[in-house]
């Protein structure tokens, strides 16, 4: 592999240099409009109200855009990768790539946690917003570089290095079902409990926990009960070494 040395323009602040370097490492190119990527990292928990626009400047609009562009790029890739598969198959595989748990894991793996800006008084917030931030970064790339460059980023930096499509096709992505099936085989009692629900201005944050024979296992977070339970189930699968099972 040939490593390119990133030339950072003179006159940039330390914060700008850090962000520029981070985006280069994540995306493989130098941003043209750094401000887009800065906005993509700002969670609504610390957003300040714009004096001109009259609303809080956070990454929510870029997240909305990036969600659509990411879905389109993945759909495009899968459509060409599997020319003889049905619409239902393509939809299922796409959902396994872009679901919230997968995006949170992927965002953490590629370094999004190093640049996301959020209210650090909420210790669990980072665990549920990384995927949203990744979507916002996709939105920023789209506005900065266009769709073709964004699709290349999605395929070359997100899908190919991080997903084995054969395993993905054959895997069971319903971690809650996997835990329940394991518990039935082992003769154990499993329960899913919602520990907490935090109400924000625009969303709720659920905290779920898996209990096996009344012993606490994985704790998960999400903006719905279902997503929090799936996240808790995924972490429990990790703890019990169940992720490799078909």
- The predicted-structure confidence for 172-204, as pLDDT tens digits, reads as follows 567 888 889 899 999 999 999 999 898 866 678
Three-class HEC string of the chain: CCCCCCCCCCCCCHHHHHHHHHHHHHHCCCCCCHHHHHHHCECCCCCCECCCCCCECCCHHHHHHHHHHHHHHHHHHHHHHCCCCCHHHHHHHHHHHHCHHHHHHHHHHHCHHHCCECCCCCCCHHHHHHHHHHHHHHHHHHHHHCHHHHHHHHHHHHHHHHCCHHHHHHCCCCHHHHHHHHHHHHCCCEEEEEEEEEECCCCEEEEEEEEECCEEEEEEEECCHHHHHHHHHHHHHHHCCCCCCC
162 and 187 in a common domain: no
Residues 163 and 180 in one domain: no
| Residue numbers of the domain that contains 183 | 175-239
Q: Give me the pLDDT at residue 199, please.
A: 80
109 occurs within a structural domain? yes
What average pLDDT does this structure show over 27-31?
A: 93
Q: Note whether residue 197 is domain-resident.
A: yes
Q: What is the per-residue pLDDT across 139-179, written as a single tens digit (0 to 9) for each? A: 999 999 999 999 999 999 999 999 888 877 766 567 888 88
Percent of the chain whose pLDDT exceeds 70: 85
* CATH number of the domain encompassing residue 51: 1.10.1520.10
Question: Does residue 52 carry a pLDDT above 70?
Answer: no
pLDDT in tens, 71-84: 999 999 999 999 98
Q: Which residues are catalytic?
A: 67, 135
Same domain, 145 and 37: yes
The whole-number pLDDT of residue 89 equals 83
Task: Please tell me whether residues 137 and 30 are part of one structural domain.
Answer: yes
């Amino acid at each position: 592999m040939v490593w390119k040395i990133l030339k950072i323009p003179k006159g940039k602040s330390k914060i700008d240099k850090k962000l520029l370097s981070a985006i280069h490492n994540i995306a493989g190119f130098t941003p043209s409009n750094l401000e887009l990527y800065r906005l993509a990292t700002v969670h609504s928990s610390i957003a300040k109200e714009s004096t001109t626009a009259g609303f809080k400047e956070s990454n929510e609009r870029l997240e909305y855009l990036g969600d659509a562009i990411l879905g389109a790029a993945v759909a495009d890739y899968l459509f060409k990768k599997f020319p003889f598969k049905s619409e239902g198959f393509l939809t299922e595989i796409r959902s396994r790539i872009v679901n919230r748990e997968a995006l949170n894991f992927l965002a953490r793996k590629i370094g999004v946690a190093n640049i996301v800006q959020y209210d650090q008084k909420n210790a669990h917030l980072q665990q549920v917003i990384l995927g949203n931030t990744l979507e916002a970064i996709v939105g920023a790339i789209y506005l900065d570089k266009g769709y073709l460059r964004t699709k290349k980023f999605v395929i070359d930096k997100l899908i190919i290095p991080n997903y084995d499509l054969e395993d993905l096709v054959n895997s069971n992505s319903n971690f809650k079902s996997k835990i329940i099936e394991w518990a039935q085989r082992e003769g154990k009692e499993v329960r899913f409990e919602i520990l907490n629900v935090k109400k924000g201005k625009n969303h709720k944050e659920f905290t779920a926990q898996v209990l096996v024979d009344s012993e606490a296992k994985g704790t998960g977070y999400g903006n719905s009960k279902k997503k929090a339970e799936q996240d808790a189930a995924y972490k429990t699968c990790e703890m019990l070494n169940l992720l490799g099972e078909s």
